[in-house]
């Protein structure tokens, strides 16, 4: 058995993931990490680094964490961004119940 972690947007419903407001360009300091993740998920071209596992539940997985972190760093103009730093923000989201970590056991 393998354990893998998936993430879930707390309180997200199917309608929220399709919102048009997510496609509006944003300024550097006005986007939150969770919004950035939703924008990546909205574009199928990003499937090699982030994808829905159960979209109806808001559940997704990061398949290329370093690339997600690199793009977040580019957007926020933080050249030193890596997954260790991005994961700190995710842990903060866990504490604030914005995103939940789900352990998936594969047989």
Distance of alpha carbon 80 from alpha carbon 97, whole angstroms = 27
Instruction: Check residue 15 and give its pLDDT.
Output: 41
Say yes or no to pLDDT of 84 above 50: yes
103 band by pLDDT with thresholds 50, 70 and 90: confident
Instruction: Check residue 92 and give its pLDDT.
Output: 94
Among candidates 12, 70, 10, which has minimal Cα distance to 46? 70
CB count in 10 Å sphere of residue 18: 10
Q: What digits encode the pLDDT tens for the residues 28-59? A: 568 999 999 999 999 999 999 999 999 999 99
**DSSP sequence for 64-83:** SHHHHHHHHHHHTT-TT--H
3-state DSSP: the chain helix, strand, coil percent, rounded to 5?
A: 50, 25, 30
Distance of alpha carbon 33 from alpha carbon 45, whole angstroms = 19
CA dist 72 → 57, 102, 104 (Å):
24, 22, 26
- What is the model's pTM? 0.77
Instruction: Check residue 18 and give its pLDDT.
Output: 46
Instruction: Check residue 78 and give its pLDDT.
Output: 93
Among 13-17, 24-28, 53-57, where is mean pLDDT lowest?
Answer: 13-17
Say yes or no to pLDDT of 12 above 50: yes
Among candidates 43, 33, 25, which has minimal Cα distance to 76? 33
């Amino acid at each position: 058995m393998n354990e893998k972690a998936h993430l879930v947007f707390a309180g997200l419903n199917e309608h929220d993931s399709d919102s048009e407001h997510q496609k509006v360009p944003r300024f550097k300091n006005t986007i939150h990490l969770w919004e950035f993740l939703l924008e990546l998920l909205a574009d199928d071209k990003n499937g090699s680094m982030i994808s829905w596992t159960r979209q109806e539940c808001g559940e997704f997985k990061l398949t290329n964490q370093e690339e997600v972190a690199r793009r977040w760093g580019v957007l926020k103009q933080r050249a030193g961004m890596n997954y260790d730093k991005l994961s700190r923000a995710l842990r903060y989201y866990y504490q604030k119940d914005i995103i939940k970590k789900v352990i998936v056991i594969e047989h």
